[in-house]
């Protein structure tokens, strides 16, 4: 028996993976991050499952619960919002489990940055524009290395998605304007994929004010970059003049080839 760290998705209960849902259905013990995981997901747990909200527990209490269950031969589903690889504090849990010799597995999920792009119906990587997405946050109680300050990152003018910073958008947008300029398009996506989802559009100059007027201070992602305008070049992947491993070009004369991502 194991502890399963499961990316529970951004909110919509249908955005958990098939594997994550199966493990949640099978688990005797469910520990979920109550501040962000949609409680609707708990409807899939067994009626007799013991369910804990981790927001009221310490790391030591969480690990004790996990150890007790696994030693009894029970399965533990540990639900984290979005994907497990970003800002989910699983590393410290993993290390504590390893120290106690408790087996675990990680099941990834749909991150909120993917849900936010879907909400604004955009693609972060557009040919002829940015081919890079920066996932970051502003320093808060958790420090951010100086080399990763928003001002430093902004000079790349890559597509950017800002986590954990809805409460400090004034400062964040000013810092980002260093490289992007105040006119850069920005969108704030609140509770992507939840029924109460809200999207605000603007620029780095005004998005913070718009958010303040709407009273949005948490559970939101700031998206920044020209990708929001949606005007890239046409991709080569579906272009008739290019061929690649899975499709022959219409005109046999040229020999263009695409890299494996195809775009
Ligand atoms: N592991 C999560 C991130 C956890 S950090 C993931 O992959 O998405 C928590 C931050 O994620 C929040 O402050 C907010 O910035 C963002 N977030 C999580 N769910 C969100 C959602 N449904 N809509 C918008 N932002 C969300």
What CATH number is given to the structural domain containing 51? 3.40.1010.10
Alpha-carbon distance of 230 to 113, in angstroms, equals 17
Residues 71 and 123 in one domain: no
Ligand 1 contact via 185 beta carbon (within 6 Å): no
Does 225 lie in the same domain as 121? yes
Q: Give CA separation, 37 vs 25, 53, 138, 147, 160, in Å.
A: 16, 10, 22, 32, 24
Judge if 24 and 80 occupy the same domain.
yes
| Alpha carbon of 251 to ligand 1 centroid (Å) | 46
Task: Kindly report whether the global pTM for this prediction surpasses the value 0.75.
Answer: yes
Provide the domain limits for residue 69.
3-110
Q: Total domain count for the chain?
A: 3
pLDDT of residue 261: 57
Residue 188 Cβ inside 6 Å of ligand 1? The answer reads no
Instruction: Take residue 28 and report the two structure tokens written for it.
Output: 């005797």
CA of 73 from ligand 1 middle (Å) equals 33
Residue 157 has which token pair?
């003018």
Separation CA 263–CA 237 (nearest Å): 5
Nearest CA to ligand 1 atom 2: 82
| Phi-psi label, residue 190: left if phi above 0, alpha if psi -120 to 50, beta otherwise | beta
Sign of CA dihedral 254, 255, 258, 262: positive
109 lines ligand 1 (CB under 6 A): no
The CATH number of the domain holding residue 198 is 3.30.950.10
193 lines ligand 1 (CB under 6 A): yes
Give yes or no: residues 60 and 164 share one domain: no
Mean pLDDT, the chain cut into blocks of 10 residues (263 residues total): 97 98 98 94 98 96 98 98 97 98 98 98 94 96 94 98 98 98 98 98 98 97 96 74 74 52 51
The whole-number pLDDT of residue 232 equals 67
Say if residue 12 is in the same domain as residue 101.
yes
Verify whether ligand 1 is closer than 6 Å to residue 120 (CB atom): no
Q: How far is ligand 1, taken at its centre, from the CA of residue 259, in Å?
A: 32
Q: Are residues 32 and 61 in the same domain?
A: yes
The finding on whether 164 has its CB within 6 A of some atom of ligand 1 is yes
- Name the domain boundary from 110, 142, 174: 110
| Together in a domain, 58 and 16 | yes
Task: List residues bridging with 224 in a β-sheet.
Answer: 160, 186
Same domain for 244 and 148?
no
- Per-residue model confidence (pLDDT) at position 252: 52
Q: Of ligand 1's atoms, which has the minimum distance to the CA of residue 88? A: 1
Residue with tokens 């009626």: 47
Distance of CA 180 to the CA centre of its chain: 22
Residue 246 Cα to ligand 1 midpoint, Å, equals 36
Q: Which tokens belong to 16?
A: 């958990």
Domain final position from 95, 110, 125 = 110
Q: Please name which of 195, 194, 223 lies closest in space to residue 211, comparing C-alpha atoms.
A: 223
Phi, psi angle pair for 243, to nearest 5°: -120, 160
Ligand 1 neighbourhood includes 38 CB (under 6 angstroms): no
pLDDT at 263: 47
Domain match, 242 and 225 both: no
Dist. CA 174 → ligand 1 center (Å):
22
The rounded Å distance from CA 220 to ligand 1 centre is: 7
Mark whether 201 and 256 lie in a shared domain. Answer: no
Q: Are residues 121 and 140 in the same domain?
A: yes
The pLDDT of residue 259 is 54
DSSP codes, the chain: --EEEEE-BSS-GGGS-HHHHHHHHH-SEEEE-TTTS-GGGGGGS-TT-EEEEGGGS-HHHHHHHHHHHHHTT--EEEEESB-TTSS--HHHHHHHHHHHT--EEEE----HHHHHHHHTT--S--TTS---EEEEE--SSS---GGG-HHHHHTT--EEEEES-GGGHHHHHHHHHHHH-TTSEEEEEESTTSTT-EEEEEETTTHHHHHHHHT--SSEEEEESGGGGT--PPPSTT-TT-BBTTB--S-TT---B--TT--
In angstroms, the CA 31 to CA 96 distance is 16
State in Å: Cα 79 to ligand 1 middle: 14
* Shared-domain flag, residues 133 and 145: yes
Of 81, 110, 139, the last residue of a domain is 110
């Amino acid at each position: 028996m194991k502890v399963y760290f499961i990316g529970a998705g951004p909110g919509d209960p249908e955005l958990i993976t098939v594997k994550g849902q199966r493990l949640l259905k099978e688990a005797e013990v469910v520990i979920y991050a109550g501040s962000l995981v949609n409680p609707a997901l708990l409807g899939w747990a067994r009626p007799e499952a013991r369910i804990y909200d981790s927001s009221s527990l310490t790391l030591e209490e969480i690990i004790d619960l996990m150890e007790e269950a696994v030693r009894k031969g029970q399965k533990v589903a540990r639900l984290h919002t979005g994907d497990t690889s970003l800002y989910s504090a699983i590393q410290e849990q993993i290390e504590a489990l390893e120290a106690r010799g408790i087996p675990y597995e990680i099941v990834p999920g749909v991150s909120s940055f993917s849900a936010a792009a879907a909400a604004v119906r955009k693609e972060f990587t557009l040919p002829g524009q940015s081919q890079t997405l920066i996932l970051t946050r502003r320093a808060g109680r958790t420090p951010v290395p100086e080399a990763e300050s928003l001002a430093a990152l902004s000079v790349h003018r890559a597509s950017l998605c800002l986590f954990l910073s809805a409460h400090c958008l004034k400062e964040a947008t000013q810092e980002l304007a260093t490289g992007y300029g105040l006119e850069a398009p920005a969108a704030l996506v609140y509770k992507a994929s939840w029924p109460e989802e809200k999207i605000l559009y603007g620029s780095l100059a005004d998005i913070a004010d718009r958010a303040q007027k709407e009273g949005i201070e948490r559970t939101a992602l700031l998206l920044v970059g020209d990708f929001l305008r949606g005007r890239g070049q046409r991709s080569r992947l579906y272009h008739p003049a290019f061929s690649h491993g899975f499709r022959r070009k219409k005109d046999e004369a040229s020999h263009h080839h695409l890299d494996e991502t195809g775009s």
